[in-house]
């Protein structure tokens, strides 16, 4: 309030220097007006406003149907799970795992607990968004890659909003409520275990950044910012795995939470890329099986006769859902691409 | 009672540690040992001179019956030694029902029965003595080949010749957490691993070896090709991870492990390192079952070690055949075995040392250069070794050994007192022992704690009795003839803070163990007292807390305030010299100590053999070489590979100095011996500096 007071005093003290009072009754010059309709005004808004715009713009086509899913031949069928849709098209069908399966997964939580000392620093610095863990792979710098960070932040914010819907509806208890010896090394947040939010966010970011690297390195060789795309993409996926599994090490998540989160993150990353560039998104369904999470498995599913792929209960269809570009995301994507010079 | 009067036989062929670990001590291992899974117990049998494992016979056994399994290498031994010999075996207890709490009785009667043919042979040939069985931690059934299996090496394939005229040299590493797909183990071209064989003793059986499974170079290369470069996937999909009896992370999935460090220091090629020479090194590795199984309650690792040596030498023959066309080609083998032990007689006569020594000597006798490199140990200043001067006992007054147990120790504590048996029972020195708890309470025992140094048959038990405090069993006292030279007093105390809180606990604090000579001929030498290691091995957390000798005359720090680098005054009980690794005191081992890289001075922890006159060269039981084990006092540890390619970490201890020497021995790059250092104490502690 002191600054407001100061501004009032100063205004009263100096306003006479502007000359005669201007009450707007008559035009005294050319008055500016922003273009309409146009997204070129985006740079004028605060970062948090743009972030809010991306999230809301994404969310308006997002919907969900707890307890029922679409049948392949049309119509719906009841099931214990939730189907997430985009533009009314299902992109992720999550079956709720049984209590018995979660119990069996406790052994992984116990096994990974031995690595708490190894991974302590990572776990503690990844409680919030682990942006630096991706930024260092691509050499992103504050100031220089501001829009790329904005893209990452938008992806994280969207993932954080969306993931709470299946977490809420599927309502799965955390490891510390099932195994007395779990003793998490950080406090357990008060939301459901399945799917893992950290996995959702990390995989969404990895997919978006992998798409970015592919786009950048599709440029003519002299304009490419990186010598090779594949090693970086491998690292982005590997880092997402590491971040997600760190939550199992910490005692907060089962490996099947990571499978579900990775599937959701992958879907959201695809949708965001499609909103940036246009393109198609795919359906996937996850019916949890008792397994550990390994990125090498997640990225190398086995083909099915139907043309889908399958790995440890995660079935994926080819990308067939057309997604239209969003001017907001398009603007951000272009700005991001411009930040990468060879 | 040592011998059954009717049969003339020892009713138990196992020793004091076995009676404890498979007896009352078993309850304290409850969290890490699933008792329903105890069926396969590896161990080591020490046979009297002239006896051979084949004397146990290849008796028929029916499915589900108890069996004593020896490998063909062991059964094929022909030469009858004039000394006792030690051999690894696997005891299969068969399909018998629940074995607890009488497990040790079941084991002893089983061993008794299975030893019948051997005893018949001994008695027919007029050989005195009995087999003495040392039992190691049980293996999870999933690890064990139910058909028995053989320690053997599959054929090797030749690699490109390294350089004309030079023989390859084999570096073998026995350790925990071997990163078999690590890039530092590749050849200079980065195409193929130099790790020709890797026996993962704790992995699920593939029904070839007696337990675990092995990988060959071709298999490792295939795994790398199929799953690389994601090494997490290689290990997860190889089926070669440890079967863990409790639960936990396989050691190769830690960031850095003892084995990853050691194998890199011994034989690794970091990127950028001059490559030609290192390609001369072929590697054989043996990954021990996880230390969490082995180190819990005083189980030894003997069978794993002896089988490992047998395997390494068989692999060396296959490599010789593949590389030189002749399996008898004299390929040098340098084995790095970075393990230590604080107990034992320290004169090379412990059963395991005999087993190690005999194997190295046998290969050498075939004209094949063989070097076993081991660390000197890290207990120089750990207050785990004390000596009672002969004069202090000869006067007949009790000498109180001050033994301090730490609070919150989840594992038992062990104190050994080593007394030389005399040749003649007449006038043998006699002793009594009195125990006082930290509270001042006097525990009771069923039998008086009295014994003497009269000779007995090896393995004979002079006394074995429970120690009771407030009516609860809190420990065990035993005296037995360990071999033809030594009687060992063993005092085992239960944890001060048992994981199962319903079990009795030993009070923590300063225990008084009063040893008194009550008669017989005077002693001519001091009596050595040794505490068993009781802290967690690197990377494990089983809750061990090291007990110490709490000796007020122990001058732990020098006049400058730094940890003492030299011996205590003569009137101190605690001694720093004579702490050498208790399984490296024989004459077929090269012992390596550690120094600070910046000053070249011995570290505060590096163990040493006994003090000896200046200028006298090191022999058995001494340090022979030394290398950097810490970069400096401030920057502890030396750097070598973690478990994943491209990672590295610091590890401190003589364990990391040993492979640096092993590497130089293998490559023939040991520097010429420098003039002896000025400081005679440092000369004893460090031997010849390898860098």
Interchain pair A111, B237: CB under 8 A = no
B404 with B509, same domain: the answer is yes
B7 in a domain, yes or no?
A: no
User: Minimal Cα distance from A295: which residue of B?
Assistant: B233
Tokens, residue A200: 């959702």
Among B526, B549, B572, which residue terminates a domain? B549
What is the model's pTM?
A: 0.91
- Provide, as residue numbers in chain B, all residues whose Cβ is less than 8 Å from the Cβ of A296: 227, 230, 232-233, 236-237
B303 with B211, same domain: the answer is yes
B420 with B457, same domain: the answer is yes
B649 with B680, same domain: the answer is yes
Count CB-CB contacts under 10 A for residue A117. Answer: 13
Q: What is the pLDDT of residue B5?
A: 41
B557 in a domain, yes or no?
A: no
Residue A271 has pLDDT above 70, yes or no: yes
B358 with B213, same domain: the answer is yes
φ/ψ of B54, rounded to 5, equals -65, -15
Nearest-by-Cβ selection for A114 from B229, B236, B249? B249
Q: Is A92 helix (H, G, I), strand (E, B) or coil?
A: strand
Pick among B230, B235, B250, B257 to test the A interface (most A CBs inside 10 A):
B230
- Provide, as residue numbers in chain A, all residues whose Cβ is less than 8 Å from the Cβ of B230: 234, 238, 295-296
**What is the Cα–Cα distance from B329 to B326, expressed in whole angstroms?**
5
Interchain pair B249, A296: CB under 8 A = no
Q: What is the pLDDT of residue B161?
A: 58
Among B349, B375, B401, which residue terminates a domain? B375
Q: What's the rounded mean pLDDT across residues B533-544?
A: 76
Tens-place pLDDT, residues B643-680: 999 999 999 999 999 999 999 999 998 988 776 666 88
Interchain pair B248, A296: CB under 8 A = no
Q: What's the rounded mean pLDDT across residues B213-230?
A: 94
The answer for residues whose C-beta is within 8 angstroms of residue B151's C-beta and 6 or more apart is B71, B72, B73, B74, B209, B210, B307, B310, B311, B314
Beta strand B590-596 with B625-630: parallel, antiparallel or unpaired? parallel
Interchain pair B254, A118: CB under 8 A = yes
- Provide, as residue numbers in chain B, all residues whose Cβ is less than 8 Å from the Cβ of A112: 249
- Cα dist from B268 to B194, B273, B287, whole Å: 9, 10, 16
Tokens, residue B631: 């970069």
B1 in a domain, yes or no?
A: no
B539 in a domain, yes or no?
A: yes
CATH number at residue B535: 2.60.120.1290
Q: What is the pLDDT of residue B100?
A: 61
CB pairs under 8 A between A and B: 38
Whether the CB of A110 is below 8 Å from some CB of chain B: the reply is yes
Q: What is the pLDDT of residue B7?
A: 42
Residues A256 and A65: beta-carbon distance below 8 Å: no
**What is the Cα–Cα distance from B104 to B81, expressed in whole angstroms?**
30
B152 in a domain, yes or no?
A: no
- Cα dist from A224 to A151, A216, A217, A221, B376, whole Å: 20, 6, 5, 5, 56
Tens-place pLDDT, residues B353-392: 999 999 999 999 999 999 999 999 999 999 999 999 999 9
Least confident of A66-70, B165-169, B556-560: B165-169
B357 with B504, same domain: the answer is no
Residue B425 has pLDDT above 70, yes or no: yes
B356 with B294, same domain: the answer is yes
- Provide, as residue numbers in chain B, all residues whose Cβ is less than 8 Å from the Cβ of A107: 247
Domain residues for the domain of B668 are 590-689
The answer for residues whose C-beta is within 8 angstroms of residue A157's C-beta and 6 or more apart is A51, A54, A55
Q: How many domains does chain B have?
A: 4
Interchain pair B248, A110: CB under 8 A = yes
Residue B62 has pLDDT above 90, yes or no: no
Residues B374 and B584: beta-carbon distance below 8 Å: yes
- Provide, as residue numbers in chain A, all residues whose Cβ is less than 8 Å from the Cβ of B237: 294, 296
Question: Could you identify the residue written with the tokens 């740079």?
Answer: A43
Least confident of A220-224, A266-270, B222-226, B613-617: B613-617
Nearest-by-Cβ selection for A114 from B232, B233, B248? B248
Interchain pair A115, B249: CB under 8 A = yes
Whether the CB of A116 is below 8 Å from some CB of chain B: the reply is no
Tens-place pLDDT, residues A195-232: 999 999 999 999 999 999 999 999 999 999 999 999 99
Tens-place pLDDT, residues A304-338: 999 999 999 999 999 999 999 999 999 999 999 99
Q: What is the ipTM of this complex?
A: 0.83
- Residue ranges with strand state E in B421-575: 430-436, 444-445, 450-452, 461-469, 472-481, 486-493, 509-519, 527-531, 548-549
B119 in a domain, yes or no?
A: yes
CATH number at residue B84: 3.30.70
Q: What's the rounded mean pLDDT across residues A249-277?
A: 98
Q: For residue A21, count CB atoms less than 10 angstroms from its CB and return exposed for 0-12, middle for 13-18, buried for 19 or more.
A: exposed
B178 with B310, same domain: the answer is yes
Q: What is the pLDDT of residue B296?
A: 46
Chain mean pLDDT for chain B: 90
Residues B269 and B184: beta-carbon distance below 8 Å: yes
Tokens, residue B689: 């500096």
The answer for residues whose C-beta is within 8 angstroms of residue B57's C-beta and 6 or more apart is B117, B118
Least confident of A255-264, B113-122, B272-281: B272-281
Q: What's the rounded mean pLDDT across residues B431-443?
A: 97
Pick among B224, B226, B229, B232 to test the A interface (most A CBs inside 10 A):
B232
User: Minimal Cα distance from A235: which residue of B?
Assistant: B230
Rg (chain B; Cα; Å): 25
Interchain pair A294, B236: CB under 8 A = yes
Interchain pair B249, A111: CB under 8 A = yes
Torsion sign over Cα A66, A68, A70, A74: negative
B11 in a domain, yes or no?
A: no
**Long-range Cβ contact pairs of A219-225 (< 8 A, separation 24 or more):** A222/A342, A223/A342, A224/A342, A225/A340, A225/A341, A225/A342
Q: What's the distance, CA B498 to chain centroid?
A: 25
- Provide, as residue numbers in chain A, all residues whose Cβ is less than 8 Å from the Cβ of B248: 110-111, 114
Tell me the shortest Cα–Cα distance from B254 to chain A, in angstroms.
6
Q: What's the rounded mean pLDDT across residues A4-32?
A: 90
Tens-place pLDDT, residues B458-481: 888 999 999 999 999 999 999 999
Q: How confident is the model at residue B98 (pLDDT cuts 50, 70, 90)?
A: low
Tokens, residue B121: 């042979």
H-state helical runs in B97-243: 103-114, 116-124, 217-227, 231-237
Q: How confident is the model at residue B99 (pLDDT cuts 50, 70, 90)?
A: low
- The DSSP line for B586-610 is STT-EEEEEEETTT-PBPSS--B--
Least confident of A305-319, B102-116, B407-421, B588-602: B102-116
Residue B4 has pLDDT above 70, yes or no: no
Interchain pair B232, A294: CB under 8 A = yes
Q: What is the pLDDT of residue B60?
A: 61
Q: How confident is the model at residue B6 (pLDDT cuts 50, 70, 90)?
A: very low
Nearest to B85 by CA among B114, B61, B130, B51: B51
φ/ψ of A270, rounded to 5, equals -60, -45
B299 with B347, same domain: the answer is yes
Interchain pair B249, A238: CB under 8 A = no
Interchain pair A112, B249: CB under 8 A = yes
B90 with B34, same domain: the answer is yes
φ/ψ of B375, rounded to 5, equals -75, 155
**What is the Cα–Cα distance from B603 to A241, expressed in whole angstroms?**
41
**What is the Cα–Cα distance from B598 to B70, expressed in whole angstroms?**
49
Pick among A120, A233, A296 to test the B interface (most B CBs inside 10 A):
A296
Residue B591 pairs with which residues in a beta bridge? B374
Higher pLDDT, B669 or B218: B218
Whether the CB of A234 is below 8 Å from some CB of chain B: the reply is yes
Q: Under an 8 Å CB criterion, which residues of B touch A?
A: 227, 229-230, 232-233, 236-237, 244, 247-249, 253-255, 541
Whether the CB of A118 is below 8 Å from some CB of chain B: the reply is yes
B535 in a domain, yes or no?
A: yes
Q: What's the rounded mean pLDDT across residues A77-91?
A: 97
Residue B523 has pLDDT above 50, yes or no: yes
Q: What is the pLDDT of residue B1?
A: 31
Q: What's the rounded mean pLDDT across residues B295-315?
A: 86
Tens-place pLDDT, residues A174-183: 999 999 999 9
B343 with B470, same domain: the answer is no
**What is the Cα–Cα distance from A138 to A226, expressed in whole angstroms?**
9
Among B352, B375, B398, which residue terminates a domain? B375
B335 with B206, same domain: the answer is yes
Pick among A110, A115, A118, A181 to test the B interface (most B CBs inside 10 A):
A118
- Cα dist from B648 to A18, A272, B254, whole Å: 68, 38, 12
């Amino acid at each position: 309030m002191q600054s407001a007071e100061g501004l009032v005093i100063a205004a009263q003290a100096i306003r006479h220097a502007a000359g005669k009072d201007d009450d707007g009754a008559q035009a005294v010059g050319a008055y500016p007006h922003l273009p309409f309709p146009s997204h070129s005004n985006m740079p004028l808004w605060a970062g948090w406003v743009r972030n809010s715009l991306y999230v809301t713009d994404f969310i308006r086509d997002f919907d969900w149907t707890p307890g029922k899913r679409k049948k392949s031949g049309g119509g719906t069928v009841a099931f214990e799970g939730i189907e997430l849709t985009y533009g009314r098209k299902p992109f992720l069908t999550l079956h709720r795992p049984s209590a018995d399966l979660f119990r069996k997964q406790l052994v992984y939580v116990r096994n990974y607990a031995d690595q708490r000392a190894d991974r302590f620093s990572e776990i503690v610095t990844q409680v919030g968004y682990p942006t630096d863990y991706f930024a260092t792979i691509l050499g992103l710098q504050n100031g220089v890659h501001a829009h790329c960070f904005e893209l990452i932040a938008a992806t994280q914010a969207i993932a954080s909003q969306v993931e709470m819907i299946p977490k809420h509806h599927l309502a799965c208890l955390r490891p510390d409520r099932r195994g007395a010896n779990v003793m998490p090394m950080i406090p357990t947040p008060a939301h459901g275990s399945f799917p893992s939010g950290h996995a959702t966010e990390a995989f969404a970011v990895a997919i978006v950044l992998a798409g970015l690297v592919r786009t950048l390195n599709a440029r003519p060789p002299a304009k490419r910012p990186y010598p090779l795309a594949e090693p970086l993409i491998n690292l982005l996926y590997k880092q997402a795995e590491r971040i997600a599994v760190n939550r199992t090490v910490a005692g907060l998540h089962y490996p099947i939470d990571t499978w579900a989160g990775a599937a959701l993150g992958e879907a959201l990353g695809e949708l965001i890329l499609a909103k940036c560039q246009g393109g198609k998104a795919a359906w996937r369904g996850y019916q949890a099986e008792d397994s550990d999470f390994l990125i090498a498995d997640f990225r190398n599913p086995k083909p099915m006769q139907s043309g889908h792929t399958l790995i440890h209960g995660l079935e994926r269809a080819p990308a067939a859902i057309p997604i239209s570009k969003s001017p907001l995301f398009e603007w951000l994507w272009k700005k991001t691409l411009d930040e990468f010079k060879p | 009672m040592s011998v059954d009067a009717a049969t003339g036989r020892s009713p138990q062929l196992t020793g004091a540690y076995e009676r404890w670990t498979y007896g009352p001590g078993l309850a304290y291992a409850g969290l890490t040992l699933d008792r329903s899974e105890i069926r396969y117990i590896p161990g080591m049998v020490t046979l009297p001179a002239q006896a051979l494992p084949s004397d146990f016979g290849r008796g028929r056994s029916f499915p589900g019956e108890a069996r004593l399994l020896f490998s063909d290498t062991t059964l094929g031994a022909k030469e009858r030694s004039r000394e006792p010999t030690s051999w690894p075996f696997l005891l299969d207890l068969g399909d018998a029902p629940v074995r607890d709490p009488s497990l040790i009785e079941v084991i002893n009667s089983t061993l008794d029965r299975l030893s019948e043919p051997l005893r018949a042979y001994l008695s027919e040939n007029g050989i005195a003595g009995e087999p003495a069985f040392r039992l190691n931690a049980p293996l999870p059934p999933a690890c064990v080949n139910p058909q028995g299996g053989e320690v053997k090496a599959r054929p090797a394939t030749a690699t490109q010749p390294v350089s004309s005229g030079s023989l390859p040299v084999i570096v073998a590493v026995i350790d925990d957490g071997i990163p078999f797909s690590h890039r530092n183990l590749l050849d200079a071209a980065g195409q193929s691993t130099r790790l020709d064989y890797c026996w993962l003793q704790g992995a699920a059986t593939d029904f070839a070896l007696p337990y675990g499974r092995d990988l060959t170079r071709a298999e490792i290369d295939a795994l790398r090709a199929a799953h690389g470069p994601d090494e997490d996937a290689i290990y997860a999909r190889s089926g070669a991870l440890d079967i863990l009896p409790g639960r936990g992370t396989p050691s190769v999935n830690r960031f850095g492990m003892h084995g990853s460090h050691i194998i890199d220091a011994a034989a690794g090629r970091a990127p950028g390192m001059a490559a030609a020479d290192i390609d001369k090194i072929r590697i054989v590795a043996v990954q021990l079952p996880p230390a969490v199984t082995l180190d819990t309650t005083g189980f030894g690792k003997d069978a794993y070690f002896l089988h490992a040596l047998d395997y390494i030498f068989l692999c060396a023959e296959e490599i010789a055949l593949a590389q030189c066309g002749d399996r008898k080609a004299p390929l040098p083998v340098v084995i790095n075995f970075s393990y230590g032990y604080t107990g034992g007689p320290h004169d090379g006569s412990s059963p395991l040392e005999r087993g190690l020594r005999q194997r190295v000597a046998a290969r050498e006798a075939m004209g094949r250069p063989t070097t076993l490199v081991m660390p000197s140990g890290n207990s120089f200043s750990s207050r785990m070794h004390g000596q009672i001067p002969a004069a202090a006992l000869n006067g007949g007054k009790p000498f109180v050994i001050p033994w301090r147990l730490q609070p919150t120790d989840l594992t038992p504590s062990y104190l050994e007192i080593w007394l030389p048996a005399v040749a003649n029972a007449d006038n043998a020195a006699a002793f009594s022992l009195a125990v006082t708890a930290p509270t001042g309470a006097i525990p009771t025992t069923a039998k008086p704690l009295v014994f003497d140094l009269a000779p007995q048959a090896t393995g004979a038990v002079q006394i074995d009795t429970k120690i009771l405090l407030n009516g609860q069993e809190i420990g065990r006292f035993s005296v037995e003839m360990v071999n033809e030279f030594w009687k060992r007093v063993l005092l085992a105390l239960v944890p001060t803070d048992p994981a199962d809180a319903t079990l009795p606990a030993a009070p923590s604090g300063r225990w008084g163990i009063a040893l008194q000579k009550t008669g017989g001929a005077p002693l001519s030498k001091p009596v050595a007292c040794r505490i068993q290691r009781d802290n967690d091995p690197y990377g494990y957390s089983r809750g061990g807390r090291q007990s110490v000798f709490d000796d007020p005359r122990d001058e732990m720090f020098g006049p400058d305030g730094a940890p003492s680098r030299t011996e205590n005054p003569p009137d101190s009980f605690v001694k720093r010299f004579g702490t050498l690794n208790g399984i490296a005191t024989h004459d077929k081992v090269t012992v390596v100590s550690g120094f600070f890289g910046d000053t070249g001075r011995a570290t505060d922890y590096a163990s040493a053999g006994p003090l000896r006159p200046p200028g006298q060269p090191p022999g058995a039981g001494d340090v022979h070489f030394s290398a950097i084990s810490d970069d400096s006092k401030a920057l502890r540890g030396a750097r070598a590979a973690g478990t994943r390619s491209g990672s590295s970490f610091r590890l401190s201890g003589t364990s990391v100095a040993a492979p640096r020497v092993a590497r130089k021995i293998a490559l023939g790059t040991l520097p010429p011996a420098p003039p002896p250092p000025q400081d005679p104490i440092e000369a004893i502690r460090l031997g010849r500096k390898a860098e």
